[in-house]
Amino acid sequence: MADKDGLKVAKDYQVNEPFANQGNFQVKGAAALDWGMKHRMSKIFNPRTGKTVMFAFDHGYFMGSTAGLERLDITVPNLMPYVDVLMCTRGALRTCVPANNNCGVALRVTSGSSMLNDDLSHEVVAVDIEEAVRLNADCMAVQTFIGADGQLSSLDNLNRVVNAGMRYGIPTLGVVAVGKDMERTDRFFKLATRIVAEMGVQIVKTYNCEHFDEVVAACPVPIVVAGGKKLPEKEALTLAYDVIRQGAAGVDMGRNIFQSQHPIEMAQAVRKVVHEGFTDKEAYEFYLDSVN
Q: Which residues are tagged catalytic?
A: 205
Closer to ligand 5RP by CB, 130 or 235: give it: 235
Binding residues for ligand 5RP restricted to 213-232, rule: CB under 6 A: 226-228
Q: How far apart (Å, rounded) are the C-alpha atoms in residues 94 and 125?
A: 19
Q: How far apart (Å, rounded) are the C-alpha atoms in residues 242 and 94?
A: 35
Task: Find the shortest distance in angstroms from Cβ 169 to ligand 5RP.
Answer: 23
Q: How far apart (Å, rounded) are the C-alpha atoms in residues 36 and 39?
A: 5
Binding residues for ligand 5RP, rule CB under 6 A, total 15
Given 41, 85, 162, 177, the residue binding ligand 5RP (CB under 6 A): 177
Of 220, 225, 268, 232, nearest to 249 by C-alpha is 225
Closer to ligand 5RP by CB, 123 or 214: give it: 123
Binding residues for ligand 5RP restricted to 67-106, rule: CB under 6 A: 87
Three-class SS state of 144: strand
Q: How far apart (Å, rounded) are the C-alpha atoms in residues 142 and 172?
A: 7
From the number of C-beta atoms within 10 Å of its C-beta (0-12, 13-18, 19+), residue 98 rates as: exposed
Q: Phi first, then psi: give them for residue 73, nearest 5 degrees.
A: -65, -20
Contact assessment for residue 64 and residue 40, using Cβ atoms and an 8 Å cutoff:
no
| 71 contact partners, CB below 8 Å, separation of at least 6 | none
Given 56, 69, 203, 204, the residue binding ligand 5RP (CB under 6 A): 56
DSSP single-letter state for residue 19:
P
Letters for 265-284 (x = contact with ligand 5RP by CB under 6 A, - = none) are --------------------
> Hey, CA dihedral for 286, 239, 40, 129, is it positive or negative?
negative
- Which of these ranges, 77-85, 124-132, 145-153, 249-257, lies near ligand 5RP under the rule CB under 6 A? 249-257
Given 127, 254, 260, 263, the residue binding ligand 5RP (CB under 6 A): 254
175 lies in the site for ligand 5RP, by CB under 6 A: yes
Binding residues for ligand 5RP restricted to 129-158, rule: CB under 6 A: 143
Task: Find the shortest distance in angstroms from Cβ 141 to ligand 5RP.
Answer: 7
Q: How far apart (Å, rounded) are the C-alpha atoms in residues 232 and 235?
A: 5
Task: Find the shortest distance in angstroms from Cβ 12 to ligand 5RP.
Answer: 31
Residues that bind ligand 5RP (CB under 6 A): 56, 58-59, 87, 143, 175, 177, 205, 226-228, 253-256
